[in-house]
Amino acid sequence: MVINALNSGTKTFMADFEDSNSPTFANLLNGQVNLCDAIRRKIDFETGGKSYKLSQNPAALIIRPRGWHLDEPRVTIDNEPLSGAIFDFALYFFHNAKELVARESGPYFYLPKMEHYREARLWNDIFNFSQSYIGMPHGIIRATVLIETLPAAFQMEEILFELREHSSGLNCGRWDYIFSFIKRRRADRTAVLPDRSDVTMEVPFMDAYVRLLIQTCHRRKVAAMGGMSAQIPIKDDPKANEIAMNKVRADKLREVKNGHDGTWIAHPLINQIAMEIFNEHMVGPNQYHNRREDVKVTAADLLNTTVPGKITAAGVRSSVAASLAYSGAWVGGNGCIPLNYLMEDAATAEITRVQLWQYVKYGSRLDTGEHVTAEYIDRVVDEVAPTLKGGSITEKNLDIVARYLKKQVRQEWPSDFLTSDLMPYLAIADGCPPQFLRSVL
């Protein structure tokens, strides 16, 4: 996977220790080893008579460590778990920073899940300490912050300021942003959103956040990165594939015309589509000249819950299936799965979980006329779960996540993060002492 990603023809490849990774210790350490080998051009792989090796000009490597909310319970300091974010960053930086600089690159990072500028300040302190510790000049680290929480949308300027010499820009972490929007508006019954498929980038609160991010970045002459298109190629159905690829085209065209300087894709075969659109509509390496001075985003715009759509029985069933499938795979050690021809990560499970909680909490009415209750969700879970078994989604893991989801929709308030709640199952499998874990079921 690492070889194919670096050879894909994209400008950069993000190696993800966060939302598309299930943080088993084996996944974390094998990932670090692969990155060390890739940086030193020593990575290769043979299988089924095929040989894989790096091209002459691989993509630049960017690392996304875990967010501040995730501990690393298998590594402790003074009998306290280490921060997962620090663990991922420190291993990569210590072993690779000098090698990267020697190869005329550098240690580049995406920083997830921030909610406050003080978290950016903490990262900046860590960057300064780490550069001094290995005898490297300050500023070799470059970081792009994912604006994927509602509180962070109100602090973009402050976040850029705190990172200063290390800042490369901001990114629209669109799927986690929807999750955060629901979670932070959980006490507001007027903020109940319709089916997930109706919450597009064109709805008012999403459009406002995107326009504000672009304006903020271009005012400071840093990159405003677009979000990920989750579509993946559909090889056995040309008609369905064309529909999916047209969705990618429309998404990337919207981004470049809004003023984004780059974008994310979920699959290497989509690179050509994204590159053609950005090359056609973006002259030069960025759009910093497009200051978006026309943008006048207010707090009310960022909180506008006017979203056309309905809460449907089919949508609830789809959310239950997505939540169980992803969570079941995650507990089984797989943090990224194709689901209905979309590449899904933890944001999918988080959005679906809090939406289902929201529907139960406020007794939302379906298009069928039926109210969503905890018992209704129980029935759907029991119907859907048996259809999902296969691969890393075992019957045992499905039982764990089905019980978890049933419990979640009954809580007074939703848990902050599913991944924090389910982490004990991974840690116990890795032999972590139970005193460092908390029970969730």
Q: Give tens-digit pLDDT for 364-391.
A: 999 999 999 999 999 999 999 999 998 7
Asked if residue 319 and residue 272 are part of one domain, the reply reads no
Q: Does one domain contain both 179 and 256?
A: yes
DSSP conformation class of 365: B
How far is residue 393 from each of residues 189, 398, 401, measured CA to CA in Å?
34, 6, 10
- Is 116 among the domain residues? yes
Lowest mean pLDDT among 35-49, 108-122, 191-205, 257-271: 35-49
Instruction: Give the torsion sign (CA, 372, 375, 380, 384).
Output: positive
Do both 247 and 146 map to the same domain?
yes
Average pLDDT over residues 338-366: 96
Average pLDDT over residues 208-228: 97
Q: Is residue 189 part of a domain?
A: yes
Please, where are the H alpha helices in 296-345? 299-302, 313-331
Residues of the chain with pLDDT > 90: what percent?
89
C-alpha dist (Å) from residue 42 to 3, 39, 430:
11, 8, 28
Q: How confident is the model at residue 134 (pLDDT cuts 50, 70, 90)?
A: very high
H-helix or E-strand spanning residue 13: strand 12-16
pLDDT at 118 over 60: yes
Which of 64, 66, 174, 196 does the annotation list as catalytic? 64
Is residue 307 situated within a structural domain?
Answer: no
Q: What is the pLDDT of residue 441?
A: 44
What CATH number is attached to the domain comprising 183?
A: 3.20.20.360
Q: What is the mean pLDDT of residues 123-134?
A: 99
Out of 302, 329, 363, a domain closes at 302
Q: What are residue 274's phi and psi, to 5 degrees?
A: -65, -45
Active-site pick, 71, 176, 261, 345 = 345
The CATH number linked to 337 is 1.20.1220.12
Please check whether residue 308 lies inside any domain of the structure: no
Instruction: Work out the pLDDT band at 349, boundaries 50, 70, 90.
Output: very high
Q: What is the pLDDT of residues 399-438, one digit of tens each?
A: 999 999 999 999 999 999 999 999 999 988 887 766 555 5
Would you place residue 51 in the very low, low, confident or very high pLDDT band (cuts 50, 70, 90)? confident
Question: Starting from the edge strand earliest in sequence, which strands make up the sheet with 223-229, in order?
Answer: 12-16, 60-64, 108-111, 142-147, 167-172, 223-229, 262-265
**pLDDT of the residue at 438:** 52
Q: Which of 161-170, 393-402, 421-430 has the lowest mean pLDDT?
A: 421-430
Catalytic (active site) residue 345: yes
My answer on whether 204 and 350 are in the same domain is no
Q: Is residue 182 domain-shared with residue 35, that is, in the same domain?
A: yes
Structural domain tally of the chain? 2
pLDDT at 437: 54
* Mean pLDDT, rounded, for 36-61: 90
For residue 166, pLDDT beyond 90 = yes
Task: Give the three-state DSSP class for 422.
Answer: helix
pLDDT of 123 over the 90 cut: yes
Same-domain pairing of 78 and 31: yes
Domain shared by 358 and 410, yes or no: yes
Average pLDDT of 91-119? 98
Q: Is 259 left (phi over 0), alpha (psi -120 to 50) or beta?
A: left
Provide the pLDDT for residue 439.
Answer: 46
Give the range among 5-9, 214-218, 223-227, 274-278 with minimum mean pLDDT.
Answer: 5-9
Range of the domain at 360: 313-436
For the segment 241-265, what is each residue's pLDDT rounded down to a tens digit?
999 999 999 999 999 999 999 999 9
Q: In this structure, are residues 264 and 343 in contact, taking their beta carbons and an 8 Å threshold?
A: no
* Partners of residue 261 on adjacent β-strands: none
Residues 241 and 358 in one domain: no
Residue 63 has a CB neighbour count (10 Å cut-off) of 25
Q: Are residues 352 and 275 in the same domain?
A: no
Residue 277 lies in a domain: yes
| Whether residue 358 sits in one domain with residue 293 | no
Taking a C-beta distance cutoff of 8 angstroms, is the pair 176, 146 a contact?
yes
- Residue 248 included in any domain: yes
Both 335 and 199 in a single domain?
no
Q: Is the pLDDT of residue 440 over 50?
A: no
- pLDDT for 37: 95
Show which of 251, 283, 302 is a domain's final residue. Answer: 302
Residue where a domain terminates, one of 302, 332, 355: 302
Note whether 230 and 330 are same-domain residues. Answer: no
Indicate whether 441 belongs to any domain.
no
DSSP secondary structure letters along 115-153: -SHHHHHHHHHHHHHHHHHTT--TT--EEEEEE-SHHHH
Angle between helices 395-408 and 418-429 (to 10 degrees): 150
SS3 content of the chain, % helix, strand, coil (to 5): 50, 15, 35
Residue 418 lies in a domain: yes
State the Cα angle at 415 between 25 and 121, rounded to 5°. Answer: 70
DSSP category for residue 48: T
